[in-house]
Chains A and B, each alone.
Chain A
Amino acid sequence: MNEIEQFTKSEYKYGFSTDIEQEMAPKGLSEDTVRFISAKKNEPQWMLDYRLKAYRHWLTMKVPTWQNVHYPQIDFQDIYYYAAPKVKPKLNSLDEVDPELLDTFKKLGIPLEEQKLLANVAVDAVFDSVSVTTTFKEALKEKGVIFCSFSEAVREHSELIKQYMGSVVPYTDNYYAALNAAVFSDGSFVYIPKGVRCPMELSTYFRINAENTGQFERTLIIADDGAYVSYLEGCTAPKRDENQLHAAVVELITNENAEIKYSTVQNWYAGDENGKGGIYNFVTKRGICKGNNSKISWTQVETGSAITWKYPSCILKGDNSIGEFYSVAVTNNAQQADTGTKMIHLGRNTKSTIVSKGISAGRGNQTYRGLVKVSKAAENARNHSQCDSLLIGDKCGAHTFPYFEISNPSAKIEHEATTSKIGDDQLFYCQSRGISAEEAVSLIVNGYCKDVFKELPMEFAMEATKLLSISLEGSVG
C-alpha cells in the first residue's frame, strides 16, 4: 500500500448505536404515514393539510438525476419515516429525559446538563424524529428569543410558522423538499425579536439512531429587524451497513439590518472503506435577506455522509444585503459530494462571497456547483468566488461547475479556481524535513481551510480542525 492510501483509513468514532425502546411509524410512505406523524405530534389541522398537499405534490415528481453522484435507486417504501424513543408524554425538565439518551449525547461530546455545557451555547438535541430537550430556554426567553423544537413551535407559535414556513423553500421546490414537507419530523425553530442580539450561540445536534429510518428535519430561523444570531448544527449517526436517508430543509429569513450566521459541522456516518453503508445527505438550505442591509452567512464543514447533495443559498432581496458561503467539503474513501451555493442578487448594491475548499482523498469524488445570478434590477451587484480543490493521492477526483447568469451590466463578478495535489512527492518533501506524513497532511489541509475555519465560532473551529484530521487520517501512508 502506498503512503497516501494508508492515511485515508480511520475509524468513525460516533458509530455506536443506542439500544432504546422505539416507537415507529409503519414502514413505507402513504397518506396514512403522513397522518400518523402529524397525529403523533398533536398537530393542528392546518399543518396536516400542508403535509398532505406536499405529499400529493411529491407523488407527481421525479427523482432528480442531474447531480454528479452515483447510487442505487432509493426504495421509498423501505424506509421508516418516524422513530422516537418511548418517553413520558411531557418533559418538564431534564430529569425526565431518559438517562440512556443523556448518556448518548454525553458520548457524542454534548452533555445536556446546562451546568456542564459551554456557558455561551444553547443546544436543541434531536434524536431520530424528535427533539429530546432544549437547553437554556429560560435564559433566552428573558430576551424574547424563541428557541425550541419545530414541533413545539407548530403548537405554540403557529402564527410565525404559518407566516414563514415554506416561504423560502416551498414544498414545490424540489423532490426532497416536497418529501420533507410531507414527513418532516422535528428540527429547530428560532425567532430573534427586533433589535435583539442573541446572547449566546444556538445549536442543534442531530443524531440518527434507529435502523432503516430516514431523518427529515426542518429548521426555520427568523431574525427580525436589527436582530443577530449565530447558529450551529452538528450531526452524527451510527455505523450501519444500510444507507440511510437524511433529507432536511432549512429556511432562514433576515429582516432589515438583521444578520444570521449559520454554521454546519456535518459528520454523518460516511460508510466504510468500500462504500458500504453511510448517510445520503440530501438537503435544501436557503436563506432570504428580505430587509435592506441584512446579511446571511453559511459556513459548512462537511466531512461525513456517503453522499452529500446540498447548495445552501442566499436570495439577496433587500438593498445592500450580503450573502456569504464558506465551505470545506471532504470526500474520502468512496464518499461523493455535489455541493456549492446559489447567490441570487435581486436588490441594489448586493454583495456575495463564495469560498469553497474541496478536499478529495481515497477514491472520493466531489463536485462544486455554484450559481451566481444577477437580476435586471440588481444595480451594482458584486460577487467574489474562490473555488479550490485539493486532491490527496491520485484515485480521487474534483470538478468545478460555476454558473453565472448576469442580467445587469453594472455587475462586478470575480471568479478564481485552483486545483492542488498532495502526492507522494509532497509528502516525501515534508518528511525529508522531519515532518511525518500524517502531520504533513494535517498541516496542508488546515492551511488550506483556514479561510473557512476563521468564519466558525471559536470552539467549533477547533472541533472542525480535529474532525478534519480524523476524517483524513489514513489518507496517506
Chain B
Amino acid sequence: MLSIKNLHASIGGNEILKGISLEVKAGEVHAIMGPNGSGKSTLSKVLAGREEYEVTAGSVEYLGKNLLDFSPEDRAREGIFLAFQYPVEIPGVTNIMFLRTALNEIRKYHGKEPLEGPEFLKLVREKTKILDLDDSLLKRPVNEGFSGGEKKRNEIFQMAVLEPKLAILDETDSGLDIDALRAVSDGINKLKNKDNGIIMVTHYQRLLDYIVPDFVHVLLNGKIVKSGTRELALELEEKGYDWIREEQKEEVV
C-alpha cells in the first residue's frame, strides 16, 4: 500500500533523509529503529505532509496515488494517521469536539453523513473503554496539561476513532507505564487487520513483544541500512548500534 523510493528530504538546506526506500504491504507491521537524530520522526512527518521539510528527490506512492501531491489534511482523509512523538496542545478546543470535527471532515471527504450526538458518543465510549482512557480527558482541551503518558494514550485513542488505513506511530511507547503500554498495544492490535499497514518507530524491543512486527528496519543517518525480522530487534537491544555503524564503514571502504 505504501512504496517509498529513494526519498530525500531536507530542512533549511540540511539534508536529513538521504535516500529512503521502504515497501509496506497491507496487513504488515514494520518497526523502524535507529539512534537519536537518525531521521525517524522526519520520515514520519514527511509522510504526513509537514511542509517545512522539502522533498528534494524520490517518490512516495500510497494506494496507487502520488502521496506527495496531497495536502496534509487530505492525506489524513485518505487514511494516513501519524501518532506524534510530541503531541501538540490545542488551546480552547475540547478533545471530544476536536475528534468529532476530525471524524466528520474525514467522513465528508468520503461523501458520508456526519456522525452526531448519540451515535458519535457511542463510538467514543467504545474506544475509551479499549484504551482505558479517563472520561474527564475528553472534556479538556486537546492535550492541554495532559501527562506524557496521557498524551500518548490520547494519540492512540484518536487513531482508534478515526480508523486509518496506514498508521505511523512515532515512539508511542515511550513514556508509558506498564499498564498503559499494554492498553495502548491492545488498541493498536485491534486496528491491525489484513487491509491496514502499521509503521512503528521505537527504541525498545519491549513494544515488539506486544505488537509483533513482520519487519524491522534500522535507520541510520537518514538511510535504512539494515532490514530484518523480529530477531534484528533483539540483536539491537543486546548489542546497540555500533556494530551496524562498523558494518557501514566497511561497506564504504
- Chain B residues with Cβ under 8 A from A426's Cβ? 88-90
- Chain A residues with Cβ under 8 A from B94's Cβ? 447
Contact present for A431 and B91 (CB under 8 Å): no
Contacts A429-B84, A434-B106, A439-B101 hold; do A422 and B72 have CB atoms under 8 A apart?
no
Contact with A along B67-84 (1 / 0, CB 8 A): 000011101110001101
Contact present for B92 and A432 (CB under 8 Å): no
Q: Does B97 contact A (CB under 8 A)?
A: yes
Contacts A3-B51, A431-B76, A434-B76 hold; do A439 and B93 have CB atoms under 8 A apart?
no
- Chain B residues with Cβ under 8 A from A433's Cβ? 76, 81, 98-99, 102, 158, 162
Q: Does B87 contact A (CB under 8 A)?
A: yes
Contact present for B88 and A425 (CB under 8 Å): yes
Contact present for B105 and A422 (CB under 8 Å): no
Q: Does A39 contact B (CB under 8 A)?
A: no
- Chain B residues with Cβ under 8 A from A431's Cβ? 49, 71-73, 76
Size of the B side of the interface (Cβ < 8 Å), in residues, is 35
Contact with B along A1-12 (1 / 0, CB 8 A): 001000000000
Q: Which of B48, B82, B92, B109 has the most CB of A within 10 A?
A: B92
- Cα separation A430 to B99 with both chains bound (whole Å): 10
Contacts A3-B51, A432-B76, A435-B73 hold; do A420 and B92 have CB atoms under 8 A apart?
yes
- Chain A residues with Cβ under 8 A from B84's Cβ? 429, 432
Q: Which residues of A contact B (CB under 8 A)?
A: 3, 390, 420-422, 424-426, 428-437, 439, 443-445, 447-449
Whose C-beta in chain A lies nearest to the C-beta of B88? A429
Contact present for A443 and B93 (CB under 8 Å): yes
Q: How far is the CB of B42 from chain A (nearest CB, A)?
A: 13
- Cα separation A422 to B84 with both chains bound (whole Å): 17
Q: Which of A3, A426, A429, A433 has the most CB of B within 10 A?
A: A433
- Cα separation A444 to B101 with both chains bound (whole Å): 11
- Cα separation A425 to B103 with both chains bound (whole Å): 20
Q: Does B134 contact A (CB under 8 A)?
A: no
The A interface is mostly helix, strand or loop, or mixed, namely helix
Contact present for A420 and B91 (CB under 8 Å): yes
Contact present for A443 and B97 (CB under 8 Å): yes
List 7 A-B pairs, minimum CB-CB distance, nearest first.
Answer: A448-B92, A420-B91, A447-B92, A431-B72, A434-B76, A433-B102, A429-B88
Q: Which of A429, A439, A443, A444 contacts B87 (CB 8 A)?
A: A429
Q: Does B52 contact A (CB under 8 A)?
A: yes
Q: Which of A390, A428, A437, A445 contacts B50 (CB 8 A)?
A: A428
Contact present for B72 and A432 (CB under 8 Å): yes
Whose C-beta in chain A lies nearest to the C-beta of B72? A431
Contact present for B48 and A422 (CB under 8 Å): no
Contact present for B92 and A444 (CB under 8 Å): yes
- Chain A residues with Cβ under 8 A from B98's Cβ? 430, 433, 435, 443
* Beta-carbon contacts under 8 Å, B19-41 to A: none
Q: Which of B45, B51, B87 has the most CB of A within 10 A?
A: B51
Whose C-beta in chain A lies nearest to the C-beta of B48? A432
- Chain B residues with Cβ under 8 A from A422's Cβ? 91
Contacts A424-B52, A428-B50, A432-B49 hold; do A444 and B105 have CB atoms under 8 A apart?
no
- Cα separation A429 to B102 with both chains bound (whole Å): 11
- Cα separation A470 to B138 with both chains bound (whole Å): 29
Q: Which of A420, A421, A425, A434 contacts B105 (CB 8 A)?
A: A434
Q: Which of B90, B103, B162 contacts A429 (CB 8 A)?
A: B90
Contact present for B90 and A444 (CB under 8 Å): yes
